[in-house]
Amino acid sequence: MYQKFIPSQYVRSVFDITPESLLEKNIRGIITDLDNTLVEWDRPEATPMLISWLKTMKDSGIQVVIVSNNNELRVKSFADPLGIPFIFQARKPMGKAFRKALKIMSVKRENVVVIGDQMLTDIFGGNRNKLHTILVLPVAQSDGFFTRFNRLVERRIMKRLKDKGYITWEEEN
């Protein structure tokens, strides 16, 4: 059961993910979380560095869809200025939002990666939908209320996975 929480890859941040590394794996689409994956959960807009990263992906022919459990106002006000399609109140790890994102991009699941900072929502949801998953370190050290609860559960899962030898990286929080 724990194997559904193991990401395909683990990197420090989205900036460690390059178009070249994705295209090597024939990745043509990204389903990404928003809060604490792309920017801090309380930052209203994209940073210049993130805008540049997103442009690089787009220029390389890689589509991006934001899939967030947050409300419409939060996700729309972030995604609209960037021209990025989004799904709000996604109810991750449930599969409906992941399938909807695939449909928006018209890309096969084997050509899509899920990027997120939470094992319980992003990684578990991506793995359940047979998608390549990349876990990133949270951008901020603080979290919203529900995420704080998820982090407690994730620490227990992470310890169990390390104890069983399923993961080999070191968490750097």
Mean pLDDT to the nearest integer, 50-65: 98
Question: Could you give the CA distance from residue 168 to residue 163 in angstroms, rounded to a whole number?
Answer: 10
Domain interval for residue 140: 2-163
The rounded distance, in Å, linking the Cα atoms of 73 and 76 is: 5
Sign (positive or negative) of CA dihedral 109, 8, 157, 149: negative
Across 51-79, average pLDDT: 97
Q: How far is CA 172 from CA 34, 141, 156, in A?
A: 20, 11, 16
- Asked if residue 170 belongs to a domain, the reply is no
**For residue 57, is it within any domain?**
yes
More confident residue, 168 or 79: 79
**CATH of residue 131:** 3.40.50.1000
**What letter represents residue 165's amino acid?**
G
Rounded Cα–Cα distance for residues 169 and 21 (Å): 19
Residue 172 covered by a domain: no
Report residue 173's pLDDT band, with 50, 70 and 90 as the boundaries.
very low
pLDDT-based confidence at 172, cuts 50/70/90?
A: very low
pLDDT digits (tens, 9 = 90+) for 112-164: 999 999 988 999 999 999 999 999 988 877 555 666 666 677 777 777 777 77
Mean predicted confidence (pLDDT) in 5-16: 94
Mean pLDDT, to the nearest integer, of 91-118? Answer: 97
The arithmetic mean of pLDDT across residues 66-73, rounded, is 97
